[in-house]
Chains A and B, each alone.
Chain A
Amino acid sequence: MNWRNISLFGFVGLMLIFVGFLQSWSVAFSLINLCLLSSIMALGVNIQWGYAGLFSVGTMGFVALGGVGAVVTSMPAETEAWQAGGLQVIGALVFAALVIVGAIQIWKRMAPGRRRTVSLILLLVVGFFIYRYLFDPAVEAIEKVNPAGAGYLGGLGLPVIFGWIVGGLLAAGAAWLIGKISLGLRSDYLAIATLGISEIIIFIMKNEDWLTRGVKNVNGIPRPTAYEVDLQVNPGFLDWANWLGIDPVTLSSLYVKASYAILFVIVLAIILWMSEAALKSPWGRMMRAIRDNEEAAEAMGKDVTKRHLQVFVIGSAVCGIAGAMLVSLDGLLTPTAYQPLRYTFLIWVMVIVGGSGNNWGSVLGGFLIWFLWIEVEPMGLWLMNVITSGMADGSGLKEHLLESAAHMRLLTMGAILLLVLRFSPRGLIPEK
């Protein structure tokens, strides 16, 4: 930590305080919460890209899976739906997994040739139809149970904090599978494959209503913090609000946001501390050695494929934890809201702008870029108001310009990314 870095962080803090005074503290706290989550996601990507040089653009998929983890842990179980077809669905999925394992075994054990191909195709085709035969009626039965309110299996009904861990584990499991498949690919190809896989994850979430309610969304996900309505009738809280001289409604919303912020800071601190420790350990040195020269590291006896898989799983797990936290902050899982621009490429901009390979850089990038992503819109609107102030009211161009202010954020992000790549490719806080 040197003065330059401290002043960079201080600058972001000051901007957030400005927002508190100029807009409202509620807005400032919402910003801070999402800045914290963005930082965690950026840390996850930094582990993959900064430590090991894996160009994986599947972040969105892991963030979304983290959200699923939060839902399946914390939502109350739909007993009726479970009775209708819960076990059958799980049985069908287990069957599908067995078919795939069997196919892999055939691929590995049998000698290459026509017999292998035929038996492989036969197994997969027959397996697919049996799977659909088991799966379809069960799903139909589950989705018929109270479709307006539930129509899915629900979760385990545990506190949502566990969901953050489960979200991380779910993302890690998926990352292990995906990594097994795709980490043999290099650079561009890995990027395209992971981008495709993350889209497939979102497609599955949109369409498998029995698990995630699909486009009907899951709402009312339990919170790890107090609820505003409870606070507003709590006499102790009302006294406190009275003593502070703040309207209880405003204070309750601030209180909830601040408690989220405290929880998020704790998680961020733990992950940051662990990442720093890992980076400084022999493991971290080995990772950087692999990143900088794969052949040399391999010649030194390092198992590059295995290390890549490891770092891919760890980074994805961090993204999954952030995804679960995001869902519990919103109280809502919206599969349609996951867009690669927002959940993959924006996180990448954070890492690159902050400084790839440096954890503090990723945290700074997360704060700075998220702040701009949100605040560029009001700034753009202000700018457009200035530009169009001389134009006649009701002119088409003026209205068009004012409406278009919302799209300034994409332009700004692109410009920032290109400028940093060109003039400061090591980012704001470069790797040591």
Chain B
Amino acid sequence: MVDVLNALVVLANFVVVPGIAYGSQLALGALGITLIYGILRFSNFAHGDTMAFAAGAVILVTWWMQAQGISIAPLPTALLALPFGIVATVLMLLFTDRYVYRFYRRVKAAPIIFVMASLGVMFILNGVVRFIIGPNDQRFADGERFIIRARDFKTLTGLDEGLAIKVSQGITVVTAVGVVIALFWFLNRTRTGKSMRAYSDNEDLALLSGINPERVVLIVWIIVGILATVAGTLYGLDKTYKPFTFFQLLLPMFAAAIVGGLGNPLGAIAGGFVISFSEVTVTYAFKRVVTYLVPEAWAPDSLVQLLSTDYKFAVSFSILIIVLLFRPTGIFKGQSL
């Protein structure tokens, strides 16, 4: 029985906890992509760099606050800087919308043209972020590091294996749940949210019923800005902030959004967890878990690992492609071109 508990703790420590945290971050990013797809009807390749920009803005404010001695220890100061980052990001997004995307909306350009314009925005944001904050790793996490340390867990429970939960992981999950609840409340309960869903379902009908499209677009960008800032900052707190990693996150986020069905917010969340858990489980070496569960004589010599950890990202891309091939509309029905 103790062995089973130990195995569960190992699994929780190396698979479940990191999987949930990473999944929440992906889900928040995928929500942004899916909302843009649902309402503005294009795949926004600049979303990863939007997150890099947002997190960069948060980091700058955090550094300033740290220099001023403002802190909310034991929580990281970055949480306090979040609203400022959101404002900066939303302003940036509205600027790009006003000077890039609005023109193509007016001329009713093909979705591909939007995607190309988003490539241009991606290049520019890439440059701007590196220009302001540089291409290197930046540290901005402070406050308490762990909710529970592996050693404390061992003394507390008397098990051989420890379970460590980082503060950043806890914050990620709590914030993600909060943001998602607020988003769904907004989309399903408020008048504006309902008008957005109407616009997404049937543009012409929505226009006929007097919904102002520019207002819908404005609100989408505001929501996307909030989501991108929260997602980017949480990812930066939990792992590391380096502008390039956000560009690499673009594909897993797309994978999450597509797996769940593009344009479907619920699907994006589910997709985020599908992607994160498959990445973690396929590349995790199950040796220690198996050793606890089977009789001693059967203990495996190999790592019991399906693919080496280097293939982590490749896993999510493969899932993306498999889903695109067999169920292009995603697990939950999304919009399909």
Q: Which residues of A contact B (CB under 8 A)?
A: 55, 181-182, 184-189, 191-193, 195-197, 199-200, 203-204, 206-207, 341, 345, 348-349, 352, 403-404, 407-415, 417-418, 421-422, 425
Nearest chain A CB to B103 CB, angstrom units: 6
Q: Which residue of B lies closest to A206 (CB)?
A: B310
Interface string of B308-337 (1 = CB under 8 A from A): 101101100110110011001000000001
Interface string of B93-114 (1 = CB under 8 A from A): 0000000100100000011110
B11 at the interface (CB under 8 A from A): no
Determine whether the beta carbon of A196 is less than 8 Å from that of B255: yes
Nearest chain A CB to B12 CB, angstrom units: 26
A187 to B337, CA, bound (A): 8
A199 to B249, CA, bound (A): 12
Determine whether the beta carbon of B115 is less than 8 Å from that of A188: yes
Residues of chain A with a CB closer than 8 A to B298's CB = none
Q: Which residues of B contact A (CB under 8 A)?
A: 37, 42-43, 100, 103, 110-113, 115-117, 119-128, 130-132, 134-135, 247, 251, 254-255, 258, 308, 310-311, 313-314, 317-318, 320-321, 324-325, 328, 337
Residues of chain B with a CB closer than 8 A to A185's CB = 324, 328
Q: Which residue of A lies closest to B44 (CB)?
A: A188
Q: Known interface pairs A199-B313, A407-B131. Does A55 touch B254 (Cβ–Cβ under 8 Å)?
A: no
Residues of chain B with a CB closer than 8 A to A403's CB = 134
Determine whether the beta carbon of B124 is less than 8 Å from that of A197: no
Chain B contact residues: over half helix, strand or loop, or mixed? helix
Q: Which residue of A lies closest to B113 (CB)?
A: A421
Q: Which residue of A lies closest to B258 (CB)?
A: A192
Determine whether the beta carbon of A407 is less than 8 Å from that of B113: no
A181 to B255, CA, bound (A): 17
Determine whether the beta carbon of B321 is less than 8 Å from that of A348: no
Determine whether the beta carbon of A411 is less than 8 Å from that of B123: yes
Determine whether the beta carbon of A409 is less than 8 Å from that of B127: yes
A192 to B310, CA, bound (A): 21
Q: Known interface pairs A418-B117, A418-B121. Does A192 touch B254 (Cβ–Cβ under 8 Å)?
A: yes
Q: Which residue of B lies closest to A128 (CB)?
A: B306
Q: Which of B115, B125, B258, B337 contacts A186 (CB 8 A)?
A: B337
Output the residue of A196, A341, A417 with the most chain B CB within 10 A.
Answer: A196
Determine whether the beta carbon of B123 is less than 8 Å from that of A417: yes
Q: Known interface pairs A188-B42, A404-B131. Does A421 touch B117 (Cβ–Cβ under 8 Å)?
A: yes
Q: Which of A193, A408, A417 contacts B120 (CB 8 A)?
A: A417
Residues of chain B with a CB closer than 8 A to A352's CB = 116
Determine whether the beta carbon of B127 is less than 8 Å from that of A410: yes
Determine whether the beta carbon of A200 is less than 8 Å from that of B314: yes
Residues of chain A with a CB closer than 8 A to B103's CB = 422
Determine whether the beta carbon of A411 is less than 8 Å from that of B310: no
Determine whether the beta carbon of A345 is less than 8 Å from that of B131: no
Determine whether the beta carbon of B120 is less than 8 Å from that of A207: no
Determine whether the beta carbon of A411 is less than 8 Å from that of B127: yes
Output the residue of B123, B127, B254 with the most chain A CB within 10 A.
Answer: B123
A421 to B116, CA, bound (A): 8
Determine whether the beta carbon of B112 is less than 8 Å from that of A55: yes
A-B contact list, 15 entries, CB within 8 Å = A182-B324, A187-B111, A187-B112, A188-B43, A189-B337, A192-B251, A192-B320, A196-B321, A200-B317, A207-B311, A407-B130, A410-B126, A411-B127, A415-B124, A422-B100
Determine whether the beta carbon of A181 is less than 8 Å from that of B120: no
A55 to B127, CA, bound (A): 24
Nearest chain A CB to B246 CB, angstrom units: 13
Nearest chain B CB to A281 CB, angstrom units: 26
